[in-house]
């Protein structure tokens, strides 16, 4: 089973839990089933602009990463992007 690790800012919205076990066919499908999915995807259902997704240590941000079969994932990690000027 795949594990998801989220940053503390998201964990605060998930009742303080920072690790989740994922189940489903694809990584994107599993992420959309989480109780805080509205923080990961925008109103059009696209991956959040200020979030990066890493799978087993490699950048998987984008549609190809979300379409990845969950059975090939050991650990997914979400990283919040810091922006400013």
Return the CATH superfamily for domain 2-80. Beta-grasp domain (3.10.20.30)
The pLDDT value given to residue 1: 82
Structure tokens at 12: 């605060």
The Cα 17–Cα 47 span in angstroms is 21
Domain ranges (residues) in the chain: 2-80
Average pLDDT score, the chain? 93
Query: How far is residue 15's CA from residue 10's CA, in Å, rounded to a whole number?
Result: 9
Question: Can you give the pLDDT at residue 6?
Answer: 96
pLDDT tens digits along 22-52: 999 999 999 999 999 999 999 999 999 999 9
pLDDT given at position 29: 97
Query: Is this structure's pTM higher than 0.75?
Result: yes
Q: How many other CB atoms sit within 10 Å of the CB of residue 27? A: 23
Nearest to 6 by CA among 42, 33, 36, 45: 36
Q: What is the pLDDT of residue 82?
A: 80
Measure the CA–CA gap between 50 and 40, rounded to whole angstroms: 9
């Amino acid at each position: 089973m795949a594990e998801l690790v989220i940053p503390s800012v998201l964990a605060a919205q998930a009742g303080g839990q920072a690790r989740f076990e994922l189940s489903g066919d694809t990584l994107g499908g599993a992420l959309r089933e989480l109780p805080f999915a509205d923080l990961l995807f925008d109103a059009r259902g696209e991956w959040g602009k200020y979030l990066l997704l890493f799978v087993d240590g490699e950048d998987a941000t984008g549609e190809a990463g979300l379409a990845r079969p969950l059975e090939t994932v050991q650990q997914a990690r979400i990283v919040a992007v810091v922006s400013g000027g």
